[in-house]
Each structure stands twice: as C-alpha cells, then as structure tokens.
Structure 1
Amino acid sequence: MTTSITAPALLPADPAYAAAVAPFVTTVTPRPDMVVEARSPADVVAAVRWAGEEGRAVTVQATGHQLVTDLAGSVLISTRHLDDVRVDPATRTAVVGGGAQWKQVIAAAVPHGLAPVGGSSSGVGAAGFCLGGGHGPLSRALGTGADNVRRIRIVTADGIERDVDATREPDLFDALCGGKAGFGVVTEIEVALHPITRLYGGGIFFPGEASPQVLHTWREWIATLPEDASTSVALLRLPPDPSLPPPLQGAFVAHLRFAHLGTAEEGAALLAPMRAVATPIADMVDEMPFAAIDAVHADPTEPMPVWDDSATLATLPAEAVDALLTVAGPGVETPLIIAELRQLGGAIARRPDRAHDAVAGRDAGFSLYALAPMFPPVAAIAPAATKAVVDAMRPWTVGGLPNFQGLGSRGRLGPLWDDATAAFLTRVREEYDPAGMFRTVGLMA
C-alpha cells in the first residue's frame, strides 16, 4: 500500500504552485512535477516514503538562494514552513527548523545576549548555510557554520527520521557538516550560540576611481588584522535605486566591509589605514548592535534574476589584484553588479576534532564571487562577464565554496573537495541513499 502524503501537495496547475516553488534567485523557474509543502517533520517522512515507493526523485528547497536547475522530473519538498526556533540560554544553543532563516535565529537569540554564526545576509536559510560549510562575518573568529552545528535531524531516503551528532551515526553527521546536499531532508539543526551583543562594523564606500588604491592597500592591510576582525571588499556597480542614499544611486564604488568583535576604539585603530586611502563617499562603520549585522555587507534583500560564479584563492598577490581590476575595475564596460573578495583564514582554517572534515576551502586565503543581473539587454552577456572574473583569477585559484556555487558552475560540487573527502561523501551518500533518490537535489539553501 502506497504511503499517503499528509502535507499540501501541489501540481503545476494548482493556483498556489508558483508561490510554493518561488526561489530567491529567479533566473531559473522551478518546474518540479509536484511540490510538497511540509508543515512538520512527519510531513517530510510521508513525502519521502511516498517518493521511494513511487520511484520518484526528490529535491529540497527552503529559501531558493542557490537554484541552478529547474527541478523538472522531481518531487520538491519545501521546508520553508519548518521555521521554528528555540533558544536554550543555559546551553547557549538554538534548535532551528530546516526552513528557518538566520534572521529568525537572530531575533530569538538576541534577547538572551547571544548570537549565531550566520552569513552575510540574514535572509539565507540557516540549515543550508551550515550544510555547505557556512562563511560569514564572524567565521574568522568563531569558525564556519558547520563547525558550530551540534546536532542534525534528517529524513533519509528510507523515510526514517534520524538524530545524528558526533556520537550517533557520526559519519552521516560529519558528511552533513559541509557536504552540502544529497543525503536527505534536514528538518532541524542545533547550533551553538555565542555571548555576543555588539560589534564594530559596517561598510565604507569609496569612489570607483579609487579602487586600485583601495584593493592594493587592502591586500597588504589584511595581514595586520586579528582573528576577531573580518573584512571583504567589493567592486559594486549600483543601480539607480531610489532606496539607496543619493550619492550611491547609479554609482561605481569600492565597498570595504569590516566587522570587529573588539572595542570600537580598537576597531577604529585597525581600520585607520583603510580610511586614509581615499575620501569616502560614505563611511558607515560604527558601533552597532549584533541584530544590525546585515549592515556590514548590505546584501540585496529582494528576489531577482542573476548569474553568478565563484572560486577560492590561495593567495592574493599584487598581480591578482591587477587581474581583477582588468576585468572589473574603473573604465571597464561590464554588466557586473559585484566582484567581491573575502578574506578567509583564522578559525575557518582550523579543522574540528572530527574523524572526517567535509568543510571545503579550509586552506584558502580568499573567496572570490562575481554576479551580474539577468535583465535585458545585459542578460545575454552576464554569463561571460562573471566567467571573465573567475578566469582572470585562475592562476591563484585552489577550489571553491559550496554555498557560493551558482549558475556559472551549474552546481558542480564534486571538485570542491580533495579526493579523500569526495570519496567519503560519496560513500555516505550511497550508504543512506543507495537508489539515488536525491540524485537531482542540486544545491539546498
């Protein structure tokens, strides 16, 4: 007897279908054969069991930040309604539903004087972030999102809901903490929280014409930073958006981001060499409550069609900066919205005490990310523009980060891990999903 799906199951003809499958990145329109809107872990169990009995492929989506295929031929299990968050101040942990976003975790943690290790945007799904390793403004000080996971609840291809951690099914736990996708449907994660209530951070916008000085100074300045400081720099071609401050509307700028857990005085002293590079258009770095951490990167908050690509770099010599400026700097005609470098290292580079470490990019010094809009008429040249950035930096490339893989890489996760780790992840996937139910899962976010 076939298991019955207990949650709303929508077909393409259903009026609610489009809203149920809507992603954050709208370049690709999801077209699964069916979407199951799980309201509880039991709904996920029923959907996975039904799919197994029917021989159907399963895909998973929470926020849709990394949609790289149209999901055709699959049953999509949407976890966006599994968004409960429970904070335990005594253990400094949060139990987070598989569809919850970081902003929900932050809202629950801040009243207790606690903070999670999340991403540069609080609109990203917490579970997907941690499954892919997870690099954010606090990661140089406190490790990746995966390093801060204590327990994961997952429904595997056999329809069994499992609680896994360092002692219960540790291989599956290790694979989930960085292996990103293809192991099942995560319904809940438990993450560590930290006694952080504020930081000294924000962004400084320099004129785009000053980007050569900004980038070359930045590459030397970062060597002076302690682990409790993190930074990135982005070449931004901003739209004429009236929601932006007038000096930034339609401007080409170099956006320096900074987040420091020390005092404001210490942070200002560290930042002084960068503030002296050029006269900024806007300097928004200041003491801020942790709840305002989104202001550090000021990432977009509205869904839009984009094309993106990424890599990790071993080093950033002066030649690499010049190569980036050649394809994205002043005077370059390009549809790019962003070409970004983030400093890695610090606690990110330290491997946890686990039998298997599935977090990619530990040994990289920097991450590289490029994004262009897919609006006409530039949509035709957007893929080439992002590829040009990645190609220009190829002499220093050592891999990539799962959470930054976009349409430019089409979700090719395998090359991101060394041979031993890739073999470990394959073994665990085959053990828990021998029939390949999640073969079309792509990227979860």
Structure 2
Amino acid sequence: MSVPTVPTLTPADPTYAAAVAPFTTTTTPRPDLVVEARSPADVVAAVRWAGEEGRAVTVQATGHQLLTDLAGSVLISTRHLDDVRVDPVARTAVVGGGAPWKQVIAEAAPHGLAPICGSSSHVGVVGFCLGGGHGPLSRAFGTGADQVRRIRIVTADGVERDVDADREPDLFDALRGGKAGFGVVTEMEIALHPVSRLYGGGIFFPGEASPQLLHAWREWVATLPDEASTSIALLRLPPDPSLPPPLQGAFVAHLRFAYLGTAEEGAALLAPMRAVAGAIADMVDEMPFAAIDAIHSDPTDPMPIWDDSATLSALPAAAVDALLAVAGPGVETPLIMAELRHFGGAIAKAGAGRHDAVAGRDAAFGLYALAPMFPPVAAIAPAAARGVVDAVRPWTMGGLPNFQGPAAGGRMGSLWDDATTAFLTGVREAYDPAGMFRTVGLRG
C-alpha cells in the first residue's frame, strides 16, 4: 500500500509493537499503519494522505484506555510531541499533543504552579482534558477541560487550526469534553494554579471495616469544603513484595484525601474518618504537589484489565449496601477495585461561564470498577465489573468519557444530554463530513 511521506511503521517493522503498545493491555492494537509524528507538519501530511486514500484515522498518545484493536485504521501516534513550555507570569503551560501530566508537573513545580491533572501523572494531558478530566483538585478548580485556553488541531481537511473561544468557538466548545472524533490535537494551552503543596495522601483500613467506613464516608463528604477532595476504594491487593507487608495480598479500604488548606485544618476535617476504624497505614500528611500520585497510588505498569463505570446522582445508605453486597467483605470476586469519587464543587460549574461538552457536571459521585484479565479470572472479570455498576443502577445517571471501559460499545454517545449530543454531532459533521475519525478506538 502507499504510505504518507512521514515516519511510518507497518506490522512487519520490528519497532511496530513498541510503538502501538497501550498501557491497558487487554486489547492488542493492530492498525494497518502507524505514523510516528515528530512534528505538527507530520500530522498534517498524514491526515492529508489519509483523506486522499479514504483511510480511517485514530490517535494515540500515552496508550491509556484502548477500546478496540484498531484493525483497518491508520494510527497517528503523538507520543513524540511532548514539549512543555510554562509561562509563570501568565500561569499557563503550552503542552504538546503527546505529553503526560508528569512532564507538566515537573516544569510547573519550580514556579510554585500546578495543573489540574488526574489521579495518575502518567496519563496524557490532551486525552484527559478532551474527555472532561476529573482529578484530586477538581472540586476546587474545575475539570481539566475548564483549564483549556487554546487548542491547535489538525482537522480532517488537513488544516492545522488554532482554536479558542474567539476563533472557531463551536469547535473549541466541542473539544472541551467531547473527547474524540474532531481531529488530531498537536498542542494545547492550559491554565496553571498557584499550588505548591497540599495536605493529602491515603489511609489504608482493614477491609472488614469497609461497611462502617463507606457509610461514614457518604455522610462525611457533605461536610467538606470545595478545597477538599476525596475518594474511597475497596481494594483486593496482590501478594506483591513491593507493597508494605501488611498490604500484601490484603483486602483493604483505601481512603484518599487532598486538601489545599493548612495541615492543621486538614487533620481536623479528616478526624471523623480516622476515628471510624484503626488504620493499617496512614499516609496522609503535608506533601509537595509534585507527589500527588501518592494520593491514589495508581498502578504504573501496563496490565490487562476490564473496567466499567457510572456517575451517580446520590449515594444513599441503600446504594452503599448494594455496593457492599457485590464488592464488600466476604464476597468472592475477581475485582481489584471498586471505587467511589466525590464530585461537586467547581466541577459543577462550566469554566468562565462558557458552554462546553463536559459530561456529568451535575453528578454527585463517580463509580469505577476494575478487574484483571489474567487467567483464570479473565472469563468472569467483565461480569464482575458490570455487576458493580448494575448493583447501584437505581442511582446511576450516566458516565464520564474518560472512564468508559472496553464494554462501552455504543454507550459513548449516551453520556451527554440530547442537546449536547446534537451539538457534538453537528460539529463533527462540519469538520469531518466524510467520517475520517469514525474509528474512535481510544479514550486517552
């Protein structure tokens, strides 16, 4: 087949596997061709070639959250577009299309600034923000999409556009939350915030105490100011020797907490939860923002998983009981994690009062379930993850694009209300009338 005049790889190339390797290894990507873009000009050339050849295009940066095997498509990898430039006066960062959050954090920290990132700094900036983006500081500052000031994107006509609130505002609004299907983002300018430290971390409690902890947590979150964020997860940890001995192979409840005020104020806010049960390990303390990964302690090594999620309108006692019935003490399940995240605060407010496409702004909580796809539990992992979401079905109200698992299928289009869905459809048709980006096989 013909190829564009840019760096490309086919399945026959020895470096192909490494170039397409995702973080979530449940699915093995097999695109017909990989374009290793090393400049925006490479992206332009690749998109123009794909248009001439009538080829479908997908985009990958860090390789998180792969949804399909990408068969029949051309994959444009933006992982080499990872430059980060911080303007400490304007409190902004200009981020390449393939940069992960850890690079932004590293560049911003010397200036006493911080981005609104997710729970893992290994996730790509662009995919996070395009999907809305909920993180440990979002209750205080809003979603990742709310931080976006400008986007440079190559649309299906092969034109690289600078898009902001004044230039092509419909595309700008659609990109902030609409996730995918509009083009290839080569650069994004985001706001930074004067945050250099926080009071945060995680507390591991015995899993047997999870009924008391979850019921206390659902009432406690209503007392928190917007400057405080929290989540709680039921974890079935592996017998990993890298974990502290008390956690190896243990079933635990992991309370996560982040607070922008003083350590004394944070400790007072956290005191009611610390009093619920004796901790196995209490790691909440004063910390530099650059250590924010320690709050959730998300895995950093690729692995095969099956995940599912939902947003919740409320978390009454009955919902907690339903969750415990499928993921709590004494339940035989392959689940690694069943997690609840508290939303509200600035998440519920559109950035700068503008319209955008962020799904789930009015959700009170997020629910996430994750199971490993290793033999012999791989056969039952999907049902276990789905069972968590099904258990709280009476209180579910939708989902978030960045948390849709491999079973999402056609669910992505149902995450937005009818008006936003119609708006996103119209923008996609205006900028990609032939459906070049119809193969939406990636979330990040």
TM score, norm. by length of structure 1: 0.98
TM-superposed CA distance for 1:238, in Å, is 0.2
Tell me the distance in 1 between the aligned counterparts of 2:181 and 2:250.
41
- Map Cα deviations across residues 219-277 of structure 1 (whole Å, 9 max, x no partner): 00001100000000000000001111110000000000000000000000000000000
The corresponding residue for 1:265 is 264
AA aligned opposite 1:53 = E
The corresponding residue for 2:70 is 71
Q: How does 1:272-421 map to 2 (within 5 A)?
A: 272-353=271-352, 356-410=355-409, 412-421=411-420
Tell me the distance in 1 between the aligned counterparts of 2:330 and 2:358.
38
- Map Cα deviations across residues 171-224 of structure 1 (whole Å, 9 max, x no partner): 000000000000000001000000100000000000000000000000000011
State whether residues 60 and 444 of structure 1, in contact with CA within 8 Å, keep that contact through their aligned partners in structure 2. Answer: no
AA aligned opposite 2:289 = F
The corresponding residue for 2:125 is 126
Tell me the distance in 1 between the aligned counterparts of 2:39 and 2:281.
46
State whether residues 235 and 255 of structure 1, in contact with CA within 8 Å, keep that contact through their aligned partners in structure 2. Answer: yes
AA aligned opposite 2:346 = A
Tell me the distance in 2 between the aligned counterparts of 1:402 and 1:354.
22
RMSD over aligned Cα atoms: 1.1
TM-superposed CA distance for 1:355, in Å, is 5.2
Q: 1:221 to 1:39 in 2, by over 3 A?
A: same
TM-superposed CA distance for 1:82, in Å, is 0.5
Q: 1:378 to 1:4 in 2, by over 3 A?
A: closer
AA aligned opposite 1:336 = L
Q: Does 1:153 align with 2:152?
A: yes
The corresponding residue for 1:143 is 142
The corresponding residue for 1:169 is 168
AA aligned opposite 1:321 = V
- Map Cα deviations across residues 79-106 of structure 1 (whole Å, 9 max, x no partner): 0110000000010000000000000000
TM-superposed CA distance for 1:5, in Å, is 2.6
Tell me the distance in 2 between the aligned counterparts of 1:438 and 1:83.
22
Dislocated runs of 4+, deviation >6 Å: none
TM-superposed CA distance for 1:354, in Å, is 5.3
Give SS of 1:83's match: coil
Give SS of 1:25's match: coil
The corresponding residue for 1:183 is 182
TM-superposed CA distance for 1:411, in Å, is 6.3
Give SS of 2:430's match: helix
Give SS of 2:296's match: coil
State whether residues 92 and 191 of structure 2, in contact with CA within 8 Å, keep that contact through their aligned partners in structure 1. Answer: yes
Give SS of 1:438's match: helix
List gaps (5 residues or longer) in structure 2. none
AA aligned opposite 2:59 = V
List gaps (5 residues or longer) in structure 1. none
The corresponding residue for 1:54 is 53
TM-superposed CA distance for 1:7, in Å, is 2.8
State whether residues 235 and 337 of structure 2, in contact with CA within 8 Å, keep that contact through their aligned partners in structure 1. Answer: yes
AA aligned opposite 1:125 = G
State whether residues 3 and 46 of structure 1, in contact with CA within 8 Å, keep that contact through their aligned partners in structure 2. Answer: no
The corresponding residue for 1:10 is 9
AA aligned opposite 2:187 = E
AA aligned opposite 2:329 = P
The corresponding residue for 1:204 is 203
TM-superposed CA distance for 1:112, in Å, is 0.7
Identical columns (%) = 83
Q: Does 1:116 align with 2:128?
A: no
TM score, norm. by length of structure 2: 0.99
The corresponding residue for 2:91 is 92
